[in-house]
Chains A and B, each alone.
Chain A
């Protein structure tokens, strides 16, 4: 081997997949579909079908080939599309019943295509409304409960805030109701697991449920989301417990470098096989429900008795920063969210910490300041007030807006469940203990509605 790799280096690389569960969490094909807009929903759906099959017919097969060749499993194959509101606005006729039917027809078409293509999820059903809503945006939002409960693979997002625009509290208030309605219409509220509410959303997010293909991008593009809590765990598990933090950070950086390089290589190879451009690698550490693949466990290994206790924010700051530094050294194509994920139901250590009441909603909110999707797959009591759900979203959005970063909420009020109960969704979504919310009301704030203005720091011109 010309590069002079040592046996030890190859051994460690082999063990990353064999022992440490390193995998590519998702290879996501982003596709622009504004070019499919026609004058009826039937024609538009037909054109979308044609375009998606032309680009993605061999997506699964090619991804499998690359997976076999490089020995790194690709867990999910996903498609992100242009935000739905831009694609179907032209079809609405100011007739609410008819227009909501168009929304459902559109989503069902995507669901069928994803099933036929054997794609895990298809994203982009959503709207960007931080500055205000159009009629089409309102239809998309109103359709969410039905769309998310009647389709399986369609994922939705609503961007309600940005540093430049502030927070659209009209939509935030409405989403409190929409999320509760979605929970009530779908089995164990699972529809809510397919909806992400964003501040400062990004155009090249490969992760679901919030991914969409931004309008500023290419016709089609492959974006990659690496996983890797297991890899980071193995990098630090055997280190001395009194190793100074800067040295610990260096070890995490080295591992982040390796897994980012692997992610980019695999993403580029899939893109080449499909004949589309390569976009970016998202550095987010994404846990899975598998034992040994937990962000919570990594935080505990840094030196916490239970994740959620005092010091958790500091430990997550060290982890997230080290992963970014290692990843940025490894690739010039870093994008997406690139911050640690802390999806409670998908991470065994986080779920257990909620059970112990050590990890609370307030602590998760604090962690948002230094990761991307702070309130992620958090199950709350089914009788939570819609204004409380809206207020939880507003807090999270405020952190993103004021700190010039992406934040997001994927929250699930589970009907009939109270704090401490357990709910299981299975598969990648895992299961979670219901986390308690404050009983004191936020109604006054929410029903004022209007816009929380952008921060002073956004006026830089």
Chain B
């Protein structure tokens, strides 16, 4: 599995879990484009039969904050049949590293 080695470790992470991939990436990217949110890193794969993608995003230039984006992503996820959540990256580091 490819490791995400570069970039900042304080960026919010969008995690997408779905059964099928088609259209999902475009829909999420489109939402981020509308909100002027930069995508700094993307990684994706199929894990245990699920399509899984993470995006490290930068909200600096955007008018929406973390909580607002989180709500919008949840709503979009429900619409397109994917589980989309926004996380503070520190939770993943805490759980997996000492």
Contacts and interface: CB of A to CB of B under 8 A. Distances in A.
Interface centre among B52, B89, B95 (most CB of A within 10 A): B95
B94 interface: yes
A8 B83 CA distance: 16
Contact of A265 (B2, B8, B48, B91): B91
B43 interface: yes
B42 to A, nearest CB: 11
A70 B52 contact: no
B86 interface: yes
Interface string A1-43: 1111111111101111010000000000000000000000000
B3 A5 contact: yes
Interface string B2-16: 111101110001010
B: contact size bracket: 35 or more
A10 B83 contact: no
Contacts of B45: 7
A14 B88 contact: no
Find the residue from B1, B4, B54, B56 having the highest chain A CB count within 10 A: B4
Interface string A224-268: 000000000000000000000000000000000011011011000
Contacts of B94: 261-262, 264-265
A72 interface: yes
B96 interface: yes
A7 B85 contact: no
A71 interface: yes
A68 B67 contact: yes
Nearest to A259: B95
B47 interface: yes
B62 to A, nearest CB: 16
A10 B86 contact: no
Given A1-B7, A18-B83, A11 B91 contact: no
A11 B88 contact: no
A69 B10 CA distance: 12
A1 B17 contact: no
Contacts of A4: 3-5
B63 interface: no
A65 B70 CA distance: 12
A271 to B, nearest CB: 15
Given A14-B85, A18-B85, A5 B91 contact: no
A262 B87 CA distance: 12
Nearest to A8: B1
Contacts of B52: 7, 11, 14
B33 interface: no
Interface of B: 1-5, 7-9, 13, 15, 17, 41, 43-45, 47-48, 50, 52, 54, 56, 66-67, 70, 83, 85-98
10 contacts: A1-B9, A5-B92, A5-B96, A7-B52, A8-B47, A10-B54, A11-B15, A71-B87, A71-B91, A258-B95
